[in-house]
Structure 1
Amino acid sequence: MLRKLLFQHQDKRQLIIAVIGAFLGMTFLITSIHYLIKVNDFGKGSEILGPNTVIVQKKVSSFNTLNIAKTDFSMNEIEEMRKKSFILAVKPVESNNFNITIQTADTMVPYFRGDIFIQTVDPDFLAIKSTKWHWKEGDTIVPILMPRDLLVMMNMFMSSKGMPQISDELAMDIHFKFALMNDTMKEYISCQIIGFTNEVSSVLVPQSFMNYANNRFAPDAEQKITQIMISGKENEFGLVETMLKERHLESKNSQVVVGRLKSMVGTLILIVLGISIIAVFLSGLVLIQYLQLLLSKNLYEVRTLMRLGHHPKTLIRTFAVYFSKVFGIIGILGLGSFIGFKLILDSIFESGGLYIDTNISGLSILALIFAYTLFTLASYLSARKGIYEQNNG
């Protein structure tokens, strides 16, 4: 009865326009938040390097061949790059100054031996459990991160011997050992694979093991920094790439492509997110304005109902419930539209080679709940203010 009386003079054209605007804004808001999170998470867990991280070295030219130009980095060069606003961190990649080989030490697989080089990087750049990534003098096993190319080479060797090829999981169960040597001595030490990488061409070892081995087998050798790791800010990878070109630095192409892709897509999604927030905000204002207009058109009815004994809280609740239902319908329609868009966009991303997580982001649902709660509260406070003003008047 109250609802029929209070809403009999409403002009639904403004309501329909506001609902359409809020629906579109809500749909794009949920969609943009979801894909912003998923794109930023792209590649995490599949690679041991952290997000937006590249390993770079100086380009080799004829001047380097003639020893006119250097390919190693000075500390001044590293410090200059660290000062850039779009750079999060720059750290050197240290290499071995001694001879080292790796070989199988397991009766379950055929004997395999190869010369390698090892490197170590700052653990902050690695997406691995720190409990596994440690070594101290006296430990019997060195944890290592192996380049996947080396596993491919091992599988080719296995195939040539008529042996079954090995998976990542099986490779991490195989026993290996290092042979560290110089002109006067040689030492064997067991090692175990704890992960693989597509981006690093060397076997990675903990910093403590590298320090021990270099001090023991090459104490007088100068440690030259020929590679560095650079971590750039989200959505600013283009600036990192520009810096690499200006300084004649190069990186593995796949690292640059992924960083560029995430930066471009992330920027576009941020633009859509900004527009969506503005659309939802403006639509909410229109709906609140519509509520106030509805109150002004029903001043006589509101005053009459209060004089007849209806408590202001009852009238406030009537308006609040009505608009909470409107916001609820907008939210449900927006969520349904988001799911439809998600199915289409997931298929497009997959066709384009961007294999992102297809699970619905919890933060996008929280954004929907937050928007619903905010607008419901705003409508309640607006109705409360308008009705109590009439009651006091």
Structure 2
Amino acid sequence: MIIGVPKEIKNNENRVALTPAGVAELKKYQHTIYVQSTAGSGSGFTDGEYEKAGAQILASIEEVYAIADMIIKVKEPITREYNLIKEGQLIFTYFHFASSEELTHAMIARKAICLAYETVERKDRSLPLLIPMSEVAGRMAPQEGAKYLEKPLKGRGILLGGVPGVKPAHVLVLGGGVVGTQAAKIAAGLGAQVTIMDINLTRLRELSDFMPANVITQYSNEYNIREAIKTADLIIGAVLIPGAKAPHLITRDMLKEMKPGTVLVDVAVDQGGCIETCQPTTHENPTYIIDDVVHYCVANMPGAVPYTSTLALTNATLPYAVQLANKGWQKACADNEELRLGLNVVNGKVVYKGVADAWNLKLTNPTAILELVH
């Protein structure tokens, strides 16, 4: 198979979808890999390293899209990439269709095969290609929140861990999954008083067993959230519904109940956000203020630590990329239920329920699509 790795062009996105080690692995199966020049530079990988591993370097993004059967990316295609995508071309990346109607319709129109990292799902319902970036984003959230709590950045002027004789900050984490767990761990490690909320009592029991003493668990409902935000200094949104829009747990009217300078970090923003007033921002302009509340809503948080993020992501994606390249997407998805669940849009048809529901589109059974292709 001919595999293309374009340079990411989303604002301040420095990750790359394939490392030189990944190139070498794919070359073992006689695949041809084209990498756009400087695609790996943001993550610390040179063109020379890719060439040594067996890749061929192309000068432009247009050349990569034109030649490849499968495009491996990190983030969803942006507007200038839409027309580069060929009918029947496999795009293997994060899509988050439920947060962008424009992207959804663009991929339907291009009749591409859109296999989304974020909906590849194991039998235990874990999301193996989302977990690594959730871990990075979860660990970054308190770090970024702590920074924007500083007064020069319009925060409350509170040190997350406090000092002897002065209370630490109160951190509220909404969601006890991978992101929320990592966020709570880091915030607690910095000395904050942490409350983590979830609607799954079994998960709350698990969290209670291994979290440090400065983390308390609480059942998530509107009343408890409204009470907690009154004293929270930093609120981290960490709610995920695979492939679907995140629910709004913090609504616009709730901002009035928060203290001026409170910081909101919505890690779920690339799935529509669990904070109603959050809109995607970039590392270049990461925050804005509504009702004296600082909103940090960067949609690609892990892009700020690309070396760590790229290695963590490619460790997870490469085995699936090898399957897709070796078998072709149809057979790979037919053989592997995890990959089949990653299919979101195929040949102009929406095959993932969360995407269809988000934009009121017709849902086509992916099994029927695979049978038709065969």
Query: Could you say which TM-score interval applies, normalised by the shorter chain?
Result: under 0.3
- Which has more radius of gyration? 1
**Greater relative CO, 1 or 2 (CA 8 Å, sep 6+):** 1
In terms of fraction of residues, the more helix-rich structure is 1
TM-score normalized with structure 2 length: 0.24
| TM-score, normalisation: structure 1 | 0.24
